[in-house]
Chains A and B, each alone.
Chain A
Amino acid sequence: MSSVADATSPDLRAELTGSEIVLKALVDQGVELIFGYPGGAVLPIYDALFQQNALRHILVRQEGGAVHAAEGYARSTGKVGVVLVTSGPGATNAVTGLTDALMDSIPVICLTGQVPTHLIGNDAFQEADTTGITRPCTKHNYLVKDVRQLARVMHEAFHVATSGRPGPVVIDLPKDVLFAKGPYVGPEAVKHRSYNPRRVPEQARIAEAVDLLMKAKRPIVYGGGGIINSGPDASRLVTEFVRRSGFPCTLTLMGLGAVPAADPHFLGMLGMHGSYEANMAMHDCDVMFAVGSRFDDRVTGRLNAFSPNSRKIHVDIDPSSINKNVRVEVPIVGDVAETMKAILAEWDRRRAEPDRKSLATWWGQIESWRARKCFAIAQGADVIKPQYAVQRLYELTKDRETFITTEVGQHQMWAAQLYRFERPNRWMTSGGLGTMGYGLPAAMGVQLAHPDALVVDVAGEASTLMNIQELSTIVQYRLPVKVFILNNRYMGMVRQWQELLHGNRYSESYMDALPDFVKLAEAFGCVGLRCARPGDLDGVIREMMANGRPTVVDVAVDEKENCFPMIPSGAAHNEMILGPSGKDSPGRPVSEEGMVLV
């Protein structure tokens, strides 16, 4: 709850309808674009939308697509993504996207229609207990029963969605409240009473951190999505720290782009499908500097074997992320940019010099791991290796302003391993929730925010089908989104686990009746391209890039290719499998305990 300042200026006293308040609040919050789908309960808002020009509405084809589009928009711009859906099924369809945004800390405001207040609880048509359903999958939610509270709630929601650890906020709007008239107050009049997270770190902790960093013999910087969320300054400052200290740096799936991939200090992504050098360095380091990362199970592997000999510094804006999975010696609650500023200032004040001699030995060790070239593949003349397709996509698109989204599965990991991100906010993927069907709508949101950029959804054929209806949206708005399908006819990651864990029993992971993606694309009004031979790949990618139209590229890839390196569930970082069995892999890759882990 907040205090609302007295409405003193005359225009603030003018009463507006609930719908007008909603739209005015969005405009005052700097929103330009909303993603939505109409229905009975939100008709008053759609009517108000029709009568204004300040907000652009993007009509998606399913509400789930609206939330992912808003996520893509938010992740690629640093702004809030806004969604408008109706009551009941509109709201329940949004639930997956909301959970996705919660897991990946993406600021999203989702306005849901609701049946009129006097019908709430009566099992009315298209009624669902939206605040009840979305309570565990949002950062916060509101049911507005009184139009006089509406403006305050709208502004408060933006504060909650964007401050601290960002996340999705739902505002449930009963239809009668949208028709009722009430006062409007601007964003400046609303101050939150209880929710004001800390941004600036404690100086004492900064000093402790610098003490540790200066003495480190085998340090590593382990950065995550929090760097991206903190803003471009945070990426710049982390990169500056890495360069000045000469420390090696690895990034999580969500953190890719925070430090340029071309920087020699960058060891690649870490975790289950991370690089050999990144994971070995994490295992053997003596000081770990975790920045905006959260020790997710995909990163740590077996917890009791995770980086056993290191002292750890953990920077996170969310105190509940600290000491959740892994106990750390120096916890720092704060915004990444603020914290890095303080660390660099302290570093300068002390004229800090890292232990260059130990660092040189450490880099020697890292280079020997690097020399294993864990991502190397042998591309033959007949069948396209999926990794090769990603590499070619990177080589041909790297000189253009390119944004990559992904679906979920093997193709996602290959894109993370092999596409090289030089800047933040260029990489949109569903990391925490692992939502198949994320990439196409997310690409739509990215393209709307960056109309002249090249936006490619690196996809799998199974994931793409989960939100394929959004091809219709990209055609309607003439968005030249590229869907680059690595088609192996399997749910590849499921198949890979079945091979490694379940004795090659490919239970229900093969798709017997896939559509003809070229014809499918054409039916929607997109361009459809196909490629089956390695020699044709460059030509097809160039054609895709040049046509300026929404395009689906169906790349037939090696059906049995597995994603390596891999830390099997329940294993430690130094127990990676580097390649297909027989080569660098233990006889039984997965322990009994590992089997029960996901």
Chain B
Amino acid sequence: MPPQQPIERHTISVIADNEPGVLARIVGLFSGRGYNIESLTVAETDASEHLSRFTIVTSGTPMVIEQIKSQLDRLVPVHRVRDMTLGGPHVERELALLKVVATGEKRVESLRLADVFRAKVIDSTIQSFVFEITGATDKVNAFIDILRPLGLVEVSRTGVAAIARGTEAM
């Protein structure tokens, strides 16, 4: 093996036929070959062509990342694979829903911080809020960390969706 290569984090976009089992194929590839999935987001993006887009955040040495891309690309239902991290400037966003249960000063403070982070309140009771926040993973992480001592009881996040900047389409 070559001298220890550094572990890198990459965001990979995949366009594949939206057919039964395609998610299992992709997930099975990662588990079967011992690759990491840090997050995975998938939905149909073209109903008329029955295409889905997967955004996979993974980590590994450059050699492993190259393998992951080649292995994904040779799956029969996969049309295109793109390494967003290597492919030039791109934006990544994820959405999180966060439930905070608190009263008094903590409740007020959570609302104030939500404003700072540009999170929206999408549900409230007199003892709780549900915040919706959208942003890069780091921003979502920061908001979660800051809410933790203020009564954060539940987190639901979508994982990363990514797209290249500029005119070029995948």
Interface positions of A (Cβ within 8 A of B): 1, 131-132, 135-136, 139-140, 143, 160, 164-165, 193-195, 197, 303-304, 318-320, 322-324, 327
Which of B14-22, B96-104, B122-130 is near enough to bind chain A? B14-22
How many angstroms from the CA of A157 to the CA of B5 in the assembled complex? 39
B79 pairs with A319, CB closer than 8 A? no
Apart from A143-B20, A323-B63, what 7 extra A-B contacts exist at CB < 8 Å? A132-B24, A143-B21, A194-B17, A194-B76, A195-B76, A319-B74, A327-B2
B28 pairs with A194, CB closer than 8 A? no
A135 pairs with B70, CB closer than 8 A? no
B19 pairs with A1, CB closer than 8 A? yes
Which residues of chain A have C-beta atoms less than 8 A from B2's C-beta? 304, 327
Which residues of chain B have C-beta atoms less than 8 A from A320's C-beta? 67, 70-71, 73-74
Q: Which residue of B lies closest to A145 (CB)?
A: B20
B169: interface (CB < 8 Å): no
Q: Which residue of A lies closest to B77 (CB)?
A: A194
Which residues of chain B have C-beta atoms less than 8 A from A194's C-beta? 16-17, 76-79
How many angstroms from the CA of A140 to the CA of B21 in the assembled complex? 11
- B161 shortest CB reach to chain A, Å: 22
A193 pairs with B17, CB closer than 8 A? yes
Q: Which residue of B lies closest to A169 (CB)?
A: B76
- B20 shortest CB reach to chain A, Å: 7
B1 pairs with A136, CB closer than 8 A? no
- A465 shortest CB reach to chain B, Å: 31
B90: interface (CB < 8 Å): no
How many angstroms from the CA of A139 to the CA of B21 in the assembled complex? 14
B32: interface (CB < 8 Å): yes
B38: interface (CB < 8 Å): no
A303 pairs with B1, CB closer than 8 A? yes
- A19 shortest CB reach to chain B, Å: 23
Q: Which among B16, B50, B67 has the greatest number of chain A C-beta atoms within 10 A?
A: B67
Which residues of chain B have C-beta atoms less than 8 A from A323's C-beta? 63, 66-67
Which residues of chain A have C-beta atoms less than 8 A from B73's C-beta? 319-320
B25: interface (CB < 8 Å): yes
Which residues of chain A have C-beta atoms less than 8 A from B66's C-beta? 323
Q: Which residue of B lies closest to A320 (CB)?
A: B70
- A148 shortest CB reach to chain B, Å: 15
- A24 shortest CB reach to chain B, Å: 23
How many angstroms from the CA of A136 to the CA of B17 in the assembled complex? 18
Residue total for B at the interface (Cβ-Cβ under 8 A): 23
- CB 8 Å contact bits of B65-103 with A (1 = contact, 0 = none): 011001101101111000000000000000000000000
How many angstroms from the CA of A505 to the CA of B25 in the assembled complex? 42
- CB 8 Å contact bits of B18-60 with A (1 = contact, 0 = none): 0111001100100010000000000000000010000000000
Which residues of chain B have C-beta atoms less than 8 A from A193's C-beta? 17, 79
What 10 A-B pairs come out closest when comparing CB atoms? Answer: A320-B70, A140-B76, A194-B79, A319-B70, A195-B76, A303-B1, A320-B71, A1-B17, A136-B32, A304-B1
How many angstroms from the CA of A1 to the CA of B46 in the assembled complex? 14
Q: Which of B21, B67, B74 contacts A135 (CB 8 A)?
A: B21
Which residues of chain A have C-beta atoms less than 8 A from B76's C-beta? 139-140, 160, 194-195
Dominant SS among interface residues on chain B? mixed
How many angstroms from the CA of A522 to the CA of B89 in the assembled complex? 73
User: 22 A-B Cβ contacts within 8 A?
Assistant: A1-B17, A1-B77, A132-B21, A135-B24, A135-B25, A143-B21, A160-B76, A193-B79, A194-B16, A194-B77, A195-B76, A304-B1, A304-B2, A318-B74, A319-B70, A319-B74, A320-B70, A320-B71, A320-B74, A324-B67, A327-B2, A327-B63
Q: Which residue of B lies closest to A195 (CB)?
A: B76
Which residues of chain A have C-beta atoms less than 8 A from B28's C-beta? 135-136
- A478 shortest CB reach to chain B, Å: 40
Which residues of chain B have C-beta atoms less than 8 A from A132's C-beta? 21, 24
Which residues of chain B have C-beta atoms less than 8 A from A197's C-beta? 74
How many angstroms from the CA of A160 to the CA of B78 in the assembled complex? 13
How many angstroms from the CA of A19 to the CA of B71 in the assembled complex? 34
B79 pairs with A131, CB closer than 8 A? no
Which residues of chain A have C-beta atoms less than 8 A from B21's C-beta? 131-132, 135, 143
Which residues of chain B have C-beta atoms less than 8 A from A139's C-beta? 76
How many angstroms from the CA of A327 to the CA of B3 in the assembled complex? 12
Which residues of chain B have C-beta atoms less than 8 A from A195's C-beta? 76
Which residues of chain B have C-beta atoms less than 8 A from A131's C-beta? 21
How many angstroms from the CA of A19 to the CA of B79 in the assembled complex? 31
How many angstroms from the CA of A136 to the CA of B32 in the assembled complex? 8
- CB 8 Å contact bits of B116-150 with A (1 = contact, 0 = none): 00000000000000000000000000000000000
Q: Which residue of A lies closest to B72 (CB)?
A: A320
- B5 shortest CB reach to chain A, Å: 10
- B74 shortest CB reach to chain A, Å: 6
How many angstroms from the CA of A323 to the CA of B32 in the assembled complex? 19
Which residues of chain B have C-beta atoms less than 8 A from A327's C-beta? 2, 63
How many angstroms from the CA of A165 to the CA of B2 in the assembled complex? 27
How many angstroms from the CA of A160 to the CA of B73 in the assembled complex? 14
Which residues of chain A have C-beta atoms less than 8 A from B25's C-beta? 135
How many angstroms from the CA of A132 to the CA of B63 in the assembled complex? 29
Q: Which among B16, B67, B76 has the greatest number of chain A C-beta atoms within 10 A?
A: B76
Contacts A136-B32, A143-B20, A194-B79 given: A1-B67 contact, CB under 8 Å?
Answer: no
- A590 shortest CB reach to chain B, Å: 19
Which residues of chain B have C-beta atoms less than 8 A from A140's C-beta? 76
How many angstroms from the CA of A485 to the CA of B74 in the assembled complex? 40
Which residues of chain A have C-beta atoms less than 8 A from B67's C-beta? 320, 323-324
Q: Which residue of B lies closest to A156 (CB)?
A: B76
Q: Which of B16, B19, B74, B77 contacts A164 (CB 8 A)?
A: B74
Which residues of chain B have C-beta atoms less than 8 A from A304's C-beta? 1-2
How many angstroms from the CA of A303 to the CA of B4 in the assembled complex? 13
How many angstroms from the CA of A197 to the CA of B77 in the assembled complex? 13
Q: Which residue of A lies closest to B32 (CB)?
A: A136
Q: Which residue of A lies closest to B66 (CB)?
A: A323
How many angstroms from the CA of A139 to the CA of B77 in the assembled complex? 11
Q: Which residue of B lies closest to A194 (CB)?
A: B79
How many angstroms from the CA of A253 to the CA of B16 in the assembled complex? 36
Q: Which residue of A lies closest to B78 (CB)?
A: A194
Which residues of chain A have C-beta atoms less than 8 A from B24's C-beta? 132, 135
How many angstroms from the CA of A143 to the CA of B71 in the assembled complex? 22
Q: Which residue of A lies closest to B16 (CB)?
A: A194
Which residues of chain B have C-beta atoms less than 8 A from A322's C-beta? 70
